[in-house]
Structure 1
């Protein structure tokens, strides 16, 4: 295969890869794709100019060589954009200016010197890109290691061309020798253009897949956070009814068998006399007094009404302790609030076995009736009842605060 066919093959591969980069850019508009597309187009133009420029005007070879330096500079920029590393335009234009300078002083530099200098510049650019991808490689990514190898091999090929220029320093009479290592260099370039393009697309899609996974996980976490927020009372931070009722069967299964409805006595007077801001402070103090833990779930039902769902022994004693703690906690957290904020409670305890199908609404209704009795009986008290498997209900007990 002659060198001009190899030049054309490289140009075609670069153009095809540029279309692949353009398709990737159309899907996700990451900022590195334009630089990669531009690099491929500039490199393809350089290779086509090597084919079409007249051989007798050898100084025109400065144009495609300068374009090669610009193309590799754009690839350096694309690599840095891809890894979100610091970048700029100096590494794009400085090598190109160096190539122009080498061709601009034909008396100072002969053809062999210019040939070697240009390949030193291009080899240094390929080495810099390979080194960057090596530093930024993903340990588990085959594609990132492939990019390192593709640019390292290209850098070695330019190095081979440098050695050729030095070895035939005085024998070169043209800036564009068609023999020597050029055919082998162009075969390596075919491998490089194919591999670097394929690996660039591959690593970009790997990264896109990782980003999409991260976005999905983030969306799921946000949905979970929103779900948790939807199950929390915004004022007190306690659970709300939405967090309890749908899971009541599960909670029963893990031992929660007592439900207490807690309602603050004459709380409207606090809001009317001192404003809702002080009332909200009092509600937060009540939430703290209810002291939820792993065996006692606390939820705000709305307004000044709360529920406690308990498991374990002595549910009645634990609820009564929390009821009495309300007045102390409100007085401590809101000094200067005249009067005592008390609470009435209706408590229903289920038998440890049986009544497994009892719905939350039924248990809540039973506790609410006991709360009504506590309110009717003078408030500031707890009335409890243990449900039975038999028709006759267990006797009620009442506790009034001292």
Structure 2
């Protein structure tokens, strides 16, 4: 036995309610992805619209008609805002305001003045436009997860097409005044498509979000929380598996007298010094270079396709720039210097650990020689 329109409508409502709860629960577990909350709100608005529309079917009237149109267009406008927020990480509010403002101005007056047939035509056409816009936002952001996001975009487009079909059937009938909810084969087909698309969109989008979470946790595991640089583990992951050749340099930096800074000015001041040095160290890097905080006040830089004089000049630039910086702290302005040592791999290839150890020896030779200087391992004695 085939389901009637009301049963399909209620199925949409309950499916949307389940999706909204799932999205809200997922957002609670990962509050950095605010688009999930926006999307959950949009689906919740659609749920309310479904039950308002069910009431309108039973008791047609201008007030319920306007409310139904307003809720659907608001829900789809918020959905468009959520997609834009997903892609850009910007506030969805301007786009939501634009979507609701334009669609309300076009669709609500006819319904309010009794031209419900025209109102439903415009509602379906404008809903389709909002859904196509949502599909386009996901299409533009597809680089993050091509298969999943192309699927999401296609499903939103399919749903939009079903609304276009509903508008076309109403336009073909040509009735500006209906006196009741639209009832035709296109409406039934649209509900079936909405149920199927909602399930697919929810599953694909949640899979994309799980991927985002995994990448976020990976970044956290590889990043030093204070400076934002790579940490020791990440640097070894990048360079520890391959032999270091004769044109790759490892430079190790260590802040001079850092313990005295912590003791005299406090750890907050010490943290500020570390952040400023990380900023200096990261400036003017090539795409092939990498820098990391190894722990405490020790940092490392790996320079590929370079020569000894270039590596020394790079380390010297960092040393001089940091020595010239005045670090503003809560305890007052202060200056600090840094010492550095560097070493190269070999034509046969050396392990990263050995090159790092050689650079460390050069660093401590620079410390013994008076600090605030750069020393080549070959000259470290």
Q: Secondary structure at the residue paired with 1:293?
A: coil
Q: Report what 1:271 is aligned to.
A: 262
Deviation at 1:143, TM superposition (A): 0.9
Q: Report what 1:60 is aligned to.
A: none
Q: Report what 2:379 is aligned to.
A: 397
Deviation at 1:129, TM superposition (A): 0.9
Q: Secondary structure at the residue paired with 1:129?
A: helix
CA distance in structure 1 between the partners assigned to 2:167 and 2:312 by the alignment: 68
**What is the TM-score normalised by the length of structure 1?**
0.58
CA distance in structure 2 between the partners assigned to 1:292 and 1:226 by the alignment: 28
Superposed CA deviations along residues 47-80 of structure 1, whole A, max 9, x for unmatched, are xxxxxxxxxxxxxxxxxxxx34477566545543
Return the match for 1:32 from 17, 42, 46. Answer: 46
Q: Contact 2:252/2:300 (CA < 8 Å) preserved in 1?
A: yes
Deviation at 1:379, TM superposition (A): 4.2
Q: Report what 2:343 is aligned to.
A: 348
Q: Report what 2:167 is aligned to.
A: 148
Deviation at 1:241, TM superposition (A): 1.6
Q: Contact 2:223/2:231 (CA < 8 Å) preserved in 1?
A: yes
Q: Report what 1:174 is aligned to.
A: none
CA distance in structure 2 between the partners assigned to 1:203 and 1:255 by the alignment: 61
RMSD value over aligned CA atoms? Answer: 4.4
Structure 1 residue runs without a partner (length 5+): 1-8, 46-66, 99-120, 162-185, 386-395
Q: Contact 1:263/1:345 (CA < 8 Å) preserved in 2?
A: yes
CA distance in structure 2 between the partners assigned to 1:218 and 1:380 by the alignment: 47
Q: Report what 1:164 is aligned to.
A: none
Q: Report what 1:280 is aligned to.
A: 271
Superposed CA deviations along residues 175-223 of structure 1, whole A, max 9, x for unmatched, are xxxxxxxxxxx9xx7xx34431330342465366446655554554455
CA distance in structure 2 between the partners assigned to 1:292 and 1:198 by the alignment: 58
Q: Report what 1:363 is aligned to.
A: 355
Superposition map of 1:2-13 within 5 A: 13=4
Q: Contact 2:247/2:307 (CA < 8 Å) preserved in 1?
A: no
Deviation at 1:148, TM superposition (A): 0.9
Higher alpha-carbon deviation: 240-249 or 315-324: 315-324
Deviation at 1:303, TM superposition (A): 1.7
Structure 2 residue runs without a partner (length 5+): 21-43, 78-99, 133-156
Q: Contact 2:322/2:337 (CA < 8 Å) preserved in 1?
A: no
CA distance in structure 2 between the partners assigned to 1:337 and 1:14 by the alignment: 73
Q: Secondary structure at the residue paired with 2:227?
A: coil
Superposition map of 1:173-212 within 5 A: 192-203=183-194, 205-206=196-197, 209-210=200-201
Q: Secondary structure at the residue paired with 1:309?
A: strand
Deviation at 1:349, TM superposition (A): 0.6
Superposed CA deviations along residues 23-66 of structure 1, whole A, max 9, x for unmatched, are 424433433334434544663x5xxxxxxxxxxxxxxxxxxxxx
Distance 1:157 1:13, change over 3 A: farther
Deviation at 1:242, TM superposition (A): 2.9
Distance 1:378 1:69, change over 3 A: closer
CA distance in structure 2 between the partners assigned to 1:153 and 1:75 by the alignment: 23
Structure number with bigger Rg:
1
Return the match for 1:308 from 301, 306, 320. Answer: 301
CA distance in structure 2 between the partners assigned to 1:289 and 1:81 by the alignment: 48
Deviation at 1:330, TM superposition (A): 3.3
Q: Report what 2:84 is aligned to.
A: none
Deviation at 1:227, TM superposition (A): 3.7
Distance 1:236 1:27, change over 3 A: closer
